[in-house]
Amino acid sequence: MHDSLAPDPYILLLTGAGLLIALVAWLPLALKRLPLSLPIVCIVLGALIFLLPQVSLRPLPVRYPEVTERFSEFVVIIALMGAGLKIDRVVGWRSWSVTWRLIAITMPLSILAITGLASWALGLPLAVALLLAASLAPTDPVLASDVQVGPPKTGEEDEVRFGLTSEAGLNDGAAFPFVHLAIMLAASAATGEPWLAEWLGYRVAWEIGGGIFGGWLVGRLFGWLTFHVPAETKLAKTGDGLIALSATLVSYGVTEIVHVYGFLAVFVTALTFRHCHRDHDFQLEMHALTEQVERIVMMVLLILFGGALVSGLLVPVTWIEALVALVILFVVRPIAGWIGLIGYRADRGEKLTLSFFGIRGVGTIYYLAYGINHMEFADAERLWGLAGLVVLFSILLHGLTVTPIMRSLDRRQGRDPDVEVAPPPGLKGPASVEA
């Protein structure tokens, strides 16, 4: 008797994983000069997979709220470590002035505008509108890597790439207080309990301050263990970039245990780790491994997102939600970005690029999942539909425009976008806008 000809699901899983890893390695190079991004390819691939009649799983976030929150959380923290490790610039008030503008002006203005728009156009309660705004305002550290700086020590760090990289690294921690504010407002509406003192004292002062300090402490510890212990036991001598993954998980875990913002801590850990020995070649090893892990988990998440799209994620969306999504991408972020950059010394093209590339993605998925899992309201499908549409529009809009726009910017600034100053790091998009 022969065994059933139906393939073993485990063998299919292994085969699929092998193909996915091959795509991770090959697609960024294949798409390098095309106006097409890896996230777009992943979404299409996911849609095709989940349209197969043999696939019964429907990866809708409302069905798997905890899995959605935790998986997107993991993808974000890996991306934050990668973003921090590749920034060459030392943190400073003047040298990071573009970052402070985007964090302190652009993001709050975006949250205010989206809250008002969602409340007025969609009729959402204030707390729900604020949660949606806090989820949609931050630039995504995962999908925004197409417009980020190059690997450590490559010198690929113009003002636009630096601004978008540092903004994506910091604004996840800066957005979290507004997510908590939405949760507290919803609870207060039900119980009447005061919220302002707790929000300002605990959610803002303690959790932001603790996240920065905790991240710095972990970064210093790992920097000392890696670069400054006696030579025969230096981790840097091993060339094992896994230490960056270790630092990511320890930083996030320890700071979350003491209830401070782990996203902020991970990015600060990466910056501090990098600062401990800025010119060491081991920085490239850590960055390369972080990038590889990030690309794999990002592709898995976007394949699931493509599956969610064909499983009914956008069913609750009406023309009003579609119009709101377009206004958020084409009006709110560009205007808020431009206002934040008033007085900043940069040419018009740089300001327009910084304002335009407010990419929405995995961070949005995490914040919305976190908020929905900690609030009580009945219309989660509608929120997920709108957020999914914004993420889809953003991936299509920014994915199709990033290569020509960044190549044009390079040429205007006297750089040849076709000259590679370092081996391609295999970034996630049309990318290698760094090359």
Share of the chain above pLDDT 70, in %: 84
| Ordered structural domains, the chain, with CATH | 61-412 (1.20.1530.20)
Average of per-residue pLDDT across 396-420: 76
For residues 42-52, one letter each, b for 16 or more C-beta atoms within 10 angstroms of the residue's C-beta and e for the rest, the string is bbebbbebbee
What pLDDT, on the 0 to 100 scale, is given for residue 272? 92
> What single DSSP character describes residue 232?
G
Asked whether the beta carbons of 146 and 431 are under 8 A apart, the reply is: yes
Q: CA 102 to CA 7: how far, in whole Å? A: 52
What pLDDT, on the 0 to 100 scale, is given for residue 218? 94
**Rounded to the nearest 5 degrees, what angle is found at the Cα of 177, between the Cα atoms of 175 and 179?**
75
Which tokens go with 208?
């932001």
Q: Strand locations in 279-390, DSSP E?
A: none
Asked whether the beta carbons of 291 and 154 are under 8 A apart, the reply is: no
Q: Is the pLDDT of residue 87 over 90?
A: no
The model's pTM is: 0.88
Asked whether the beta carbons of 218 and 250 are under 8 A apart, the reply is: yes
Q: Is the pLDDT of residue 425 over 50?
A: no
Q: CA 158 to CA 383: how far, in whole Å? A: 36
Cα 51 to its chain centre, rounded Å, is: 27
Q: Is the pLDDT of residue 274 over 80?
A: yes
At 230, the pLDDT band (50, 70, 90 cuts) reads: low
Q: Is the pLDDT of residue 68 over 90?
A: yes
What pLDDT, on the 0 to 100 scale, is given for residue 399? 82
How do residues 335-356 score in pLDDT, each as one tens digit?
999 999 998 888 888 889 889 8
At 430, the pLDDT band (50, 70, 90 cuts) reads: very low
31 compared with 69, residue with greater pLDDT: 69
> In sequence order, what are the residues at sequence separation of 6 or more whose Cβ sits closer than 8 angstroms to the Cβ of residue 321?
122, 382, 385, 386, 389
Asked whether the beta carbons of 290 and 245 are under 8 A apart, the reply is: yes
- C-alpha closest to that of 423 among 412, 432, 415, 414: 432
